[in-house]
Amino acid sequence: MNGSMNVSSNPHVRSKATTSGIMISVAIALLPAAGFGVYNFGWRALMLLCVCIATCVASEYIYEKCMKKKVTIGDFSAVVTGLLLGMNLPASAPWWIAVIGGMFAIVVVKMLFGGLGQNFMNPALGARCFLLISFTARMTTFTYDGVTGATPLAVLKSGGNVNTYDMVIGRIPGTIGETSVIAIVIGACFLLLSGIIDLRIPASYIITFALFIGIFGGYGFDPYFLTAHLSGGGLMLGAFFMATDYVTSPITPAGKYAFGIILGLLTGIFRIFGGSAEGVSYAIILGNLLVPLIERVTLPKCFGKGGENR
Amino acid sequence: MPKFTFNGGIHPYDGKDLSKDKPIKEFLPKGEMVYPLSQHIGAPATPLVGKGDRVLAGQKIGEAGGFVSAPVYATVSGTVKGIEKRRVPAGNMVDSIIVENDGTYEEVDYAPVKPLNELSRDEIISLVKEAGVVGMGGAGFPTHVKLSPKEPEKIDYVIANCAECEPYLTSDYRRMLEEPEKLIAGMKIELMLFPNAKGILAVEDNKPDCINKLRELTEKEPLIEVRALKTKYPQGSERQLIYAVTKRAIDSSRLPADAGCIVNNVDTLVAIRRAVVEGRPLMHRIVTVTGDAVAHPQNFKVRCGTNYNELLEAAGGLKCEPEKIISGGPMMGFALFDLNVPVTKSSSALLCMTKDEVAVYEEGACIRCGRCVEVCPGRVLPAKLADASEHGDAETFLKYNGMECCECGCCSYVCPAKRHLTQSIKSMRKIMLAKKKK
């Protein structure tokens, strides 16, 4: 055995956490919300989710094969992107929109910038916004129980009444995965308990947004109005699953709070002062673009720096 | 009571059960002994013997090469075979005195020492210096230098580093259980040097038996307090330990003395007692031979210079083929490519593992999860520093406080992408330190 040992730099032990393990956990955490979407909107929703996942995985595989790069679909990050994208589509969207979205997310937003870890915005959200701009009508037509209608937030904006109980349960029109607050929170609890995400981004996002709505929404801190805003428009899905995307959120501890606050303000501005009733997606991708700046101004103070000599 | 601890850190599998209940066994080496002239930080020692000379155990064979240096002593009797370059645990080749062991362990007659209460401060420090005492926790910094801060009256804490936060190591644990009075005696000598200091024995709370025993023995010592620290790696890192005990944080540019502290490891304090009370040099240390590939993991009292091969045989050899052998603990130890290296003053363990976790995983892309940032006790951004290191970008490396890394390995440990963060940062730090010296 002499002279045949492995040699490497310290440390010589590693934790069990792996990138693929984390991605699989995120996918599992999305399942309650996705499952509710399928229950709510029917088999069409399941078809769209599958098409999105398949397109994302296939795009990554084909791109990497063409570019003669190492195939990385084993890390399951494309599965998460596909699932998130699908959950951000209306159940009535045609299948080819899912295909275009999946390709855009993986090839344009992720791979062209260097693949996993290098994309500057959340691929699923980047693709959703691309689709919203390109196919506005198809992306904003929401059918529920066979009836095409406005989302609760749009109703609210035009002065109508909504049922907040239905909004928390998720029995409302909207994209496949965004409607049920309960299902999203169940998945989020799993991620929080397994330590994959923490509350810094979601909590600062949600609290800032609630304060903003309370101050500028025109109804003060009316519980009905606040509940409607917090439950609608994919805020919960965005706060727990998309704002917390590792790659496109700050790695500095203070930056995480700053990022959440910025998202809360942007979402509030878009919803109250913007033309559309929604705003979570745009707020998050705009926030993503600010991440390098946020990190620069929130560098942690290193241990013992600046202390006085005794 | 608030827990004494620091920010960051990790909880790796500690493996201490393998050897913690095995009493210290004295091991007498049979074969050739190797005494590297550089077992410490600072100038190497200069040899005092030549080929063919007969040496006795306890005889000085290397003189300190300067103030920041330490002498080297023979630990067996025998004949000097030569002075040549030999590999040391850290992996480099160091000029070493080779002694053919005659197996009689004949010792020199040690000069008598004055009783403790008649010794002056300078006499104590020079006894420590003469005995070749260095930091035995791993760094090997000459102890007499640590004991000579500019303003000794400004030191208000003398801390014994009894944390032993490295997984698998049980050498300090056994020492505290079996010879606690020697540790306390070492602490009392240290307190004599610092008129305004209070002694703290800082033990991690995973060793309640040590804490109880030490508390019992120091009950009547008004100046000595035993403090239980939260068990977390790297609690034994000097600056983290000072913070846990005193809440004073110092960066890498300052010395513990700047925070009014002097920190020494368990075995070092025992060596100080031996030097000052008995007038004998540092010749032994406790080494834990452990790991899942070792037949009978246990703790040995080993003479410095003993070949690791012999030591492993004494632990029953290997019960299965190891993939990785480490001198020291798994977090900060050195991987050995073979066992033909000597035990030095700062070797705390020989660890043989059947699985090399580093080789199991392939390095992937950083997903910016921020785990490295959360665990870093230096509160820097390991992921960014590693990027800068890999691109040879010294400017960014310094801007992001790369020199504040203590190389504890927490970032590499937690990284889900299995990036070799510590290794990259370490390499860049080496380059920067070498540049600074020029």
> How does pLDDT run across A4-30, given as a tens digit for each residue?
788 899 899 999 999 999 999 999 999
Testing the interface with B: which of A7, A12, A16, A309 to mutate, by most B Cβ within 10 A? A12
> How would you list the strands of the sheet with B261-265, edge to edge?
B224-229, B198-204, B157-162, B261-265
Q: List Cα–Cα distances, A230 to A36, A155, A273, A305, in angstroms.
A: 19, 15, 17, 41
Q: What is the pLDDT of residue A274?
A: 86
Peptide bond between residue A11 and the one before it cis (omega within 30 degrees of 0)? yes
User: Measured between CA atoms, how close is A64 to chain B, in angstroms?
Assistant: 15
Q: Residue B255 class from Cβ within 10 Å (0-12 exposed, 13-18 middle, 19+ buried)?
A: middle
In 3D, which of B129, B353, B178 has the Cα closest to residue A5? B353
Q: Which of A5, A15, A304 sits opposite B336 (nearest CB)?
A: A5
Within 8 A of B336 by CB-CB distance, chain A residues are: 5, 7
Q: Which of B7, B360, B414 sits opposite A15 (nearest CB)?
A: B414
What does the pLDDT look like over A237-263, one tens digit per residue? 999 999 999 999 999 999 999 999 999
Interatomic CA distance for residues B425 and A44, integer angstroms: 51
Instruction: Tell if the CB–CB gap between B337 and A4 is shorter than 8 Å.
Output: yes
- Shortest CA gap B337–chain A (Å): 5
Which of B105, B117, B111 is CA-nearest to residue B130?
B111
Query: Which of B154, B370, B426 minimises the CB distance to A310?
Result: B154
Q: Which of B239, B262, B292, B358 has the highest number of chain A CBs within 10 A, making it the mutation to test binding with A?
A: B358
Nearest CB to A303; choose among B356, B366, B378: B378
Q: What whole-number distance in Å separates Cα of residue B389 and Cα of residue B377? A: 19
Distance from CA of B259 to the nearest CA of A (A): 6
A90: alpha, beta or left? (left if phi > 0; alpha if psi -120 to 50)? beta
Residues of A in contact with B325 (CB under 8 A): 5
Inter-chain CB proximity A5 and B13 less than 8 Å: no
ipTM: 0.91
Give A14's contacts in chain B (Cβ within 8 Å).
Answer: 357-358, 360-361, 412-413, 415, 418
Name chain A contacts of B5, Cβ cutoff 8 Å. none
pLDDT for B139: 81
DSSP letter assigned to residue A104: I
Q: Which of A72, A249, A302 sits opposite B380 (nearest CB)?
A: A302
Q: Which residue of B has its CA nearest to A303?
A: B378
Residue B311 has a pLDDT of: 95
Write the pLDDT tens digit of every residue in B282-319.
999 999 999 999 999 999 999 999 999 999 999 999 99
Under 8 Å between Cβ of B108 and B57: yes
Please list every residue in chain A whose beta carbon sits closer than 8 Å to the beta carbon of residue B365.
19, 72, 115-118
Confidence (pLDDT) at A3:
60
Name the DSSP class of A247.
Answer: T
Cβ atoms B272, B264 nearer than 8 A: yes
Domains of chain A, first to last:
19-297 (1.10.3430)
* Residues of chain A contacting residue B150, judged by C-beta atoms under 8 Å apart: none
Sign of the torsion formed by the C-alpha atoms of B171, B177, B182 and B187: positive
Distance CA B183, CA B22 (A): 19
Arch. (CATH architecture) of B116-278: 3-Layer(aba) Sandwich (3.40)
Domain with CATH 3.40.50.11540 in chain B: 116-278
**What is residue B58's DSSP assignment?**
T
Q: Do B381 and A246 touch (CB under 8 A)?
A: no
Residue B22 carries which side chain, given as an amino acid letter? K
Per-10-residue mean pLDDT, chain A, length 310 = 77 94 97 96 95 97 95 95 96 95 97 93 95 92 82 86 90 92 97 96 97 92 92 94 96 96 96 84 95 94 70
Q: Is residue B134 within 8 Å of residue B140, measured between CB atoms?
A: yes
Determine the residue among A118, A198, A247, A302 to mutate to test chain B binding: the one whose Cβ has the most chain B Cβ atoms within 10 Å. A302
Query: Which secondary structure element, helix H or strand E, spans residue B93, and what is its range?
Result: strand B93-101
- Which residue spans within B256-297 are E strands per DSSP? 261-265, 284-290
Q: Which residues of chain B have pLDDT under 50?
A: 1
The predicted-structure confidence for B80-118, as pLDDT tens digits, reads as follows 999 999 999 988 899 999 999 999 999 999 988 889 889
* Distance (Å, whole) CA A256 – CA A267: 16
Task: Report CB contact under 8 Å: B364, A19.
Answer: yes
